[in-house]
């Protein structure tokens, strides 16, 4: 239909056909705004309320003062890419070439979008395992792909290999996995990743492995990176985040590691998406990574906070589910209320003074389990304050 401008010459904004017609304001933004309006302790959105290491800030400031403020190479500062390659090899036994196989990204979310855009074409299918991070679906739709949703096992959030196998078709281009898992806090075992490798072996299906919580694993578990399973490493984009690892989520710096042919296609999109990433932060991160202690000790740091929070929940009728990794704790509130999850989160925020996120927000169809997600990446006093309020339950 042809639209004609108003006869009186009034300025008019043309109508726009949305690329993402189903997308509105994210639940994280909604709950954070509600928490602020009601003075609630915000355990909803996944970010720390404490500062990162001053030495890291100093390293970035020194890079700025040292004149490192112009464009870096498109793929990232060489020293940082080498530091990433060294770390991945030390932890997971796979050597990526810093020149051709590692790209520094403007956060993990940009890395995920770029990986999807570089390999998914209109008509391709992409398997996502629900519940999942809310960017996956819209990213696939922007690429013209079809989202194929496979549920993780409710409660344990473990992969169901039979369901994944059943979802594979000749049109499947990509499978997205996330371990440690947001929101379910499960950690894939080596056996599960090897089973996935066997499923994919006879296919040309690619893997996107979202490993942003790679250093947050508890109770003696190990994070098994897709990089450590050769059959997966050969077909995988592996995504991680400095923001999550070093408590600086607002810096928005991450990286993607992939075999050279995949990285070449990734970089074609990356160079016209963001081109490159903040220069002094890259230099500061490269220097800071010379000491592995901050990421090697991260699991113990967050396990203590997890244990503090879980112990405090014993004074409530909320039932904590397992938290094997990430900095999230899901709880079952079915002993307390029949309210839908979003309504229960509003009640928690407005009446109890603690913000959480409904698990249903991580499912496209809003699947209800009477489970909500808390983030324990907070100061101890913040957690104590939240627990004091939750004890009213």
Q: pLDDT tens-digit profile of 190-224?
A: 999 999 999 999 999 999 999 999 999 999 999 99
- Predicted pLDDT of residue 5: 63
Q: Looking at residue 186, what is its pLDDT? A: 98
Residue 228 near residue 92 (C-beta atoms within 8 A)? yes
Average pLDDT, the chain: 96
Residue 225's pLDDT is 98
Using the Cα atoms of residue 111, residue 113, residue 114 and residue 120 in order, give the sign of their dihedral.
positive
Pick among 3.40.50.12170, 1.10.1040.10, 3.40.640.10, 3.90.550.10: CATH of 54-294: 3.40.640.10
Mean pLDDT within 61-69: 98
C-alpha distance from residue 384 to each of 23, 44, 154, 346 (Å): 35, 15, 29, 21
**Unique residue bearing structure tokens 């992969």:** 159
Residue 324 has pLDDT above 80, yes or no: yes
Res. 1: pLDDT tops 60: no
pLDDT at 29: 87
**Confidence band, pLDDT 50/70/90 cuts, at residue 106:** very high
Give the pLDDT score at 155: 93
Q: What pLDDT score was predicted for residue 22? A: 87
Sole residue written with tokens 């994070």: 223
pLDDT in tens, 234-263: 999 999 999 999 999 999 999 999 999 999
**What residues does 11 pair with on adjacent strands?**
none
In this prediction, residue 365 carries a pLDDT of: 93
Above 70 in pLDDT, residue 4?
no
CB 225 within 8 A of CB 209: yes
> pLDDT, tens digit, for every residue of 23-44?
888 888 889 999 999 999 999 9
Q: What is the pLDDT of residue 3?
A: 60
Could you state, in order of their start, the residue ranges of all structural domains in the chain? Answer: 27-52+299-390, 54-294
- pLDDT category of residue 6 using cuts at 50, 70 and 90: low
The mean per-residue pLDDT over the stretch 131-143 comes to 96
The number of beta carbons lying within 10 Å of the beta carbon of residue 201 is 11
pLDDT (0 to 100) of residue 2:
57
Dmax over CA atoms of the chain, in Å, equals 72
Residue 265 has pLDDT above 70, yes or no: yes
Q: What is the pLDDT of residue 8?
A: 78
According to the per-residue pLDDT averaged within each range, which of 7-16, 41-50, 67-76 is highest?
67-76
Q: What is the pLDDT of residue 268?
A: 98
pLDDT tens digits, one per residue of 357-375: 999 999 999 999 999 999 9
Strand partners, 128: 149, 176
What sign for the dihedral angle of Cα 261, 263, 264, 268?
Answer: positive
pLDDT for 297: 98
pLDDT cut 90: percent of the chain above it? 94
In the CATH scheme, what architecture does the domain 27-52+299-390 have? Answer: Alpha-Beta Complex (3.90)
Q: What is the pLDDT of residue 9?
A: 81
């Amino acid at each position: 239909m042809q639209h004609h401008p108003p006869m009186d010459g009034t300025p008019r904004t043309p109508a726009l056909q949305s690329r993402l017609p189903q997308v509105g304001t994210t639940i994280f933004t909604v709950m954070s705004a509600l928490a602020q309006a009601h003075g609630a302790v915000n355990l909803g959105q996944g970010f720390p309320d404490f500062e990162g290491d001053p030495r890291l800030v100093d390293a970035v400031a020194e890079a700025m003062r040292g004149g490192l403020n112009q464009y870096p190479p498109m793929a990232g500062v060489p020293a940082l890419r080498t530091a990433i390659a060294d770390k991945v090899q030390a932890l997971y036994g796979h050597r990526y070439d810093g020149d051709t196989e590692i790209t520094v990204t403007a956060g993990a979310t940009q890395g995920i979008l770029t990986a999807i855009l570089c390999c998914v074409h209109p008509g391709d299918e992409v398997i996502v395992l629900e519940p999942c991070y809310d960017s996956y679906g819209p990213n696939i739709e922007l690429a013209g792909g079809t989202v194929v949703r496979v549920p993780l096992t409710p409660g344990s959030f473990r992969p169901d290999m039979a369901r994944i196998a059943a979802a594979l078709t000749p049109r499947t281009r990509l499978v997205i996995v996330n371990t440690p898992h947001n929101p379910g806090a499960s950690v894939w075992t080596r056996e599960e990743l090897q089973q996935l490798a066997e499923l994919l072996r006879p296919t040309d299906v690619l893997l996107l492995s979202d490993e942003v919580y790679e250093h947050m694993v508890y109770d003696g578990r190990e994070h098994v990176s897709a990089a450590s399973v050769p059959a997966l490493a050969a077909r995988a984009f592996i995504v991680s985040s400095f923001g999550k690892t070093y408590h600086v989520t607002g810096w928005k710096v991450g990286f993607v590691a992939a075999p050279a042919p995949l990285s070449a296609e990734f970089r074609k999109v990356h160079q016209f998406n963001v081109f490159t990433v903040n220069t002094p932060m890259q230099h500061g991160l490269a220097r800071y990574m010379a000491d592995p202690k901050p990421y090697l000790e991260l699991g113990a740091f967050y396990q203590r906070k997890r244990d503090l929070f879980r112990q405090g929940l014993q004074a409530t009728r909320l039932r904590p589910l397992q938290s094997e990794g990430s900095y999230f704790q899901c709880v079952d509130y079915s002993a307390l209320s029949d309210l839908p999850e979003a309504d229960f989160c509003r009640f928690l925020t407005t009446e109890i003074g603690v913000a959480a996120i409904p698990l249903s927000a991580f499912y496209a169809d809003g699947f209800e389990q009477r489970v909500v997600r808390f983030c324990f990446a907070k100061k101890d006093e913040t957690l104590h304050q939240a627990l004091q309020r939750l004890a009213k339950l």
